[in-house]
Structure 1
């Protein structure tokens, strides 16, 4: 692999993207609430990537984005992502909501010789590859399927662990930034009561698939669990047992139980608990705002921090880098007339700087220049 120098997500996607809240970054596109009203959808919770409502909103956004530049109807969808379940489901839902033919590339760098598996789903096909360099082969596959990559084609590019911090190659640095943000947030809140070993043990224990039904695989919930364990309201063994035996079946049940005994919380934690509990009850999927604001900073500080000519091994270990293969095909397909649009499941609070940080020169994640690494 090679160091391809500095670039940014913005260099090939511009502002045509949405973060988790589904509010378009490009001001030319209508807001999320406007989309819901036009589509006749509920004005309640923001749908997640695998929800059918998410697909309808994305179809509306893609049509509007295409009309900004040319009066062409979208006929085909190409999706580039990194997870078979989440991205694959989103891809299928979007194709069916739009009535479009679709091809998806789901990639991850894995050991062994380059290989790919094709999943046929009627009008949609998913190309599962064990290396990101297979994206060029995927372009050839598109052509063999009679799939033109032109003005009538929309290209959806997943950002997290696809265009940025590629899965199997560089995604661990994204994870490190998130863990550091959790640790920093809890350190500030617990002060001298913070125990690094206790924190890491708790985080590692609950950050496992066996607890996803309890945590909803939600990092905000996990951060809160670590906070409550850190202050001593629960013991790790006892909480694990409560979850495994079903006494506590959900995070919502746990935080309600904490609220019932909040007089036992240290005074300095009462306010943050109250804020998180209020947002959980409102259905906000990212209720631990202090953690997410910290995550933005720890992520941004891992981008573009090394010298321009840094060695590839060092870049992949210390910096969140752009996936050159994704960048290369995106630019090529854009030149052929295809519409490029990015999507991210990272919360807006962890992706866009606060006004205070923006005044100090911090940029949205997609505008930060960092190295591109790839074949």
Structure 2
């Protein structure tokens, strides 16, 4: 592993990036609100990454983005760089189908077992290239050439941001996770004040993040943070909540927050206000209703980007800093030079990815523009 200086995702993606709200950072592209009527999407719902509606929005944005610098050039194929077979693999397949394109997805994650690549052919001209080393990206160009799959101006390349472009899964992703945990800790601690029990919080947070509880929390960190807040207030105990969920008497987060609302008078006044704001957003269909948590997540993430000295050892950078994945950076720059369209996706909420106006005034930048070290093989 080596350090390749400081850079940002912006170096190879520019502002052709969308976070969860599907509002491109490049203002030349239309936001979701403008795309909805054209694609006949329902109002008030933001499609999630694994949904076909999300894929239709991304296809529209890719075609619009291609027209910005290569008008009249159609997109004919797709390359996708991601880190999870289920989530990224599903998004990749949906985007290929929505665009009517053949495609190839590289799904990477660093693992301790011997290096290997598995190629999985799927219907519709789609191929998964599954690798347990990020270094395998260096062979993808050759693999594409051998298959007659050019990486040129008629190719769109989607780069997943979190745990792919930076914080590479299996290598550096734990630092992203640490930022999120710190954000929940900071948010709940600030709101509970002297009543905050750090050990009780961590016990609840770790338990609720187990796969067993995903049907209840939908693995939504806003929901987990809110539940931790309510548990910390003493309105419910962790053990009673676990019993209710396991017995099926508490089947969803929506049911839980509705029950909290029935007992809201038992909450301290300031927590009651926070609860009502979050509950209103949940009822409006906002997937990121706990805004205070997400603002703290942005701060905790930015604080871990480019935070170490340039002479810091590689091991320390990987342990403490969110770094750019050099292997992704190299292929992205090479493919852009060959004419391919590069576009970044992130399912991270906008509130956790871009600074508030007061932070912008202090010089803070969106995560994809934040400089940090690039590390790779």
Q: TM-score range by the shorter chain?
A: over 0.9
Are the counterparts in 2 of residues 79 and 91 from structure 1 also a CA contact under 8 Å? yes
Deviation at 1:112, TM superposition (A): 2.1
SS of alignment partner, residue 322 of structure 2: coil
Which residue number corresponds to residue 262 of structure 1? Answer: 264
Equivalent runs, 1:1-375 vs 2, <5 Å: 1-70=1-70, 71-122=72-123, 123-375=125-377
**Deviations 1:176-202 (Å, cap 9, x if unpaired)?**
000000000011100000000000000
Deviation at 1:238, TM superposition (A): 0.5
What are structure 2's unaligned runs of at least 5 residues? none
| TM-score, length basis structure 2 | 0.99
**Deviations 1:110-159 (Å, cap 9, x if unpaired)?**
01221011111121001111010000112211112110000000000000
SS of alignment partner, residue 151 of structure 1: coil
Deviation at 1:345, TM superposition (A): 0.5
What are structure 1's unaligned runs of at least 5 residues? none
Spell out structure 1 runs of 4+ moving beyond 6 A. none
| TM-score, length basis structure 1 | 0.99
SS of alignment partner, residue 139 of structure 2: helix
Once structures 1 and 2 are overlaid, which stretch shifts more, 100-109 or 38-47? Answer: 38-47
SS of alignment partner, residue 340 of structure 1: strand
Q: Over the residues paired in the alignment, what is the CA RMSD in angstroms?
A: 0.6
Deviation at 1:308, TM superposition (A): 1.4
Are the counterparts in 2 of residues 3 and 310 from structure 1 also a CA contact under 8 Å? no
Partner Cα distance (2:37, 2:79) in 1: 27
**Deviations 1:271-324 (Å, cap 9, x if unpaired)?**
100000000001100000000000000000100011112110000011000000
Deviation at 1:267, TM superposition (A): 1.6
Partner Cα distance (2:285, 2:42) in 1: 13
